[in-house]
């Protein structure tokens, strides 16, 4: 009999709208016990999932599963970079950007079935000022909203939309210089999104042509935005037609530097990181193995 594969599942107990789901019961009922020997641990503080994932890789776990939202997935994946261990995702958040991009079902029972099929491949990963990201990173309005969202007592999509509407009128673009493919571009910045995958989460596609395995970043620049254009832009994101409008400009590159006199807030996979006046963003080709449905 072939040896079973050890999996460490890392669960954020506070993540997402499905926080009351009995994950241990789902794993015991639906994970293929003939293939896998699972172990489940819980996160206790911010950054804990990265520590647990890194330790699991050192201890020889072949697969490390992230059970939570985009923040949990980011932390677990960050701990697995350069380790050879494989990431599995059981999405339990509100955005679930990487899971959606890879076609992983949002239903946990069905997502466990994808793990049982055990099909995986390597994807690109990115860094912004040495902070890993796997879907998107950015500076400007989206990062500002992530900073406000981080302090909100209520989570979820409804809270996020309320904050966007509340803060949009007050937010002002700032000047920055983007160094892209050897050329400087001085511009006003409402948003600069650095996309490895197509979407932020919730099927909001900021870079619909992004390919998570092409070794390139898709850079979306939005210079200025009034309310009318914002409505069209939002509809374009939801229909994957944002690139057809006049508000967003796109570039592809392997690395981009941004400088500014005034600091910009920045995020990685929707999680607020901090602020800076200099940014170095780069892509790391095929640097993380992930379980996903065949053909995705």
- Residue whose C-alpha is closest to residue 93's, from 157, 181, 8: 157
How would you class 293 by CB atoms within 10 Å of its CB: exposed for 0-12, middle for 13-18, buried for 19 or more? middle
pLDDT reported for residue 226: 80
Residue spans in the chain of domains classed CATH 2.60.200.40: 131-285
Residue spans in the chain of domains classed CATH 3.40.50.10330: 5-118
pLDDT reported for residue 156: 62
Which helix (H) or strand (E) segment holds residue 219: the answer is strand 217-222
Strands 271-291 and 120-128, bridge-based pairing: antiparallel
Phi, psi of 11 (to 5 degrees): -110, 125
Q: Does 2.40.50.140 match the CATH number of domain 131-285?
A: no
pLDDT reported for residue 157: 64
Reported pTM: 0.92
pLDDT reported for residue 294: 92
The residues facing 259 across adjacent strands are 177, 278
Please calculate the CA angle 86-87-89 and round it to the nearest 5 degrees: 150
pLDDT reported for residue 155: 61
Q: How far apart are CA 159 and CA 34, in angstroms?
A: 42
- Digit-by-digit pLDDT tens for the chain (296 residues) are 568 999 999 999 877 654 567 899 999 999 999 999 999 999 999 999 999 999 999 999 999 999 999 999 999 999 999 899 999 999 998 889 999 999 999 999 999 999 999 999 999 999 999 999 999 999 998 898 888 777 666 666 666 677 677 778 788 999 999 999 999 999 999 999 999 999 998 888 999 999 999 999 999 999 988 877 787 877 788 788 887 777 899 999 999 999 999 999 999 999 999 999 999 999 999 999 999 999 87
Please state, in angstroms and as integers, the Cα–Cα distance from residue 173 to each residue in 32, 53, 170, 192, 280, following that order.
51, 38, 10, 11, 20
CB 67 within 8 A of CB 73: no
pLDDT reported for residue 18: 47
Q: Cα–chain-centroid distance for residue 138?
A: 11
Please give the CATH number for the structural domain made up of 5-118.
Answer: 3.40.50.10330
Q: How far apart are CA 140 and CA 267, in angstroms?
A: 9
């Amino acid at each position: 009999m072939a040896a079973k594969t050890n999996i460490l599942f890392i669960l954020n107990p506070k993540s997402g709208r499905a926080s009351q789901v009995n994950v241990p019961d789902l794993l015991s009922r639906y994970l293929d016990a003939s293939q896998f020997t699972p172990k489940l641990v819980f996160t206790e503080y911010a950054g804990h999932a990265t520590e647990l994932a890194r330790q699991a890789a050192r201890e020889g776990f072949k697969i490390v599963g992230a059970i939570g939202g985009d923040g949990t997935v980011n932390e677990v994946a960050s701990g697995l970079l350069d380790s050879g261990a494989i990431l599995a995702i059981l999405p339990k958040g509100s955005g679930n950007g990487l899971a959606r991009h890879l076609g992983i079902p949002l239903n946990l029972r069905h997502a466990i079935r994808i793990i049982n099929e055990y099909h995986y491949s390597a994807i690109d990963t990115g860094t912004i000022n040495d902070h890993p990201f796997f879907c998107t990173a950015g500076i400007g309005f989206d990062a500002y909203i992530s900073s406000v969202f981080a302090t909100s007592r209520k989570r979820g999509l409804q809270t996020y939309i309320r904050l966007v509407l509340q803060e949009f009128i007050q937010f002002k673009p700032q000047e920055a210089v983007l160094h892209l493919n050897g050329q400087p571009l001085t511009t006003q910045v409402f948003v600069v999104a650095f996309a490895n995958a197509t979407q932020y989460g919730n099927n909001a596609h900021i870079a619909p042509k992004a390919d998570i395995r092409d070794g390139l970043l898709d850079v979306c620049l939005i210079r200025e935005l009034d309310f009318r254009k914002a409505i069209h832009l939002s509809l374009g994101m939801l229909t994957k037609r944002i690139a057809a409008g006049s508000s967003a400009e796109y570039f592809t590159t392997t690395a981009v530097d941004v400088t500014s006199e005034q600091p910009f807030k920045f995020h990685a996979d929707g999680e607020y990181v901090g602020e800076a006046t200099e940014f170095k963003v780069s892509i790391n080709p095929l640097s993380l193995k992930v379980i996903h449905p065949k053909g995705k």
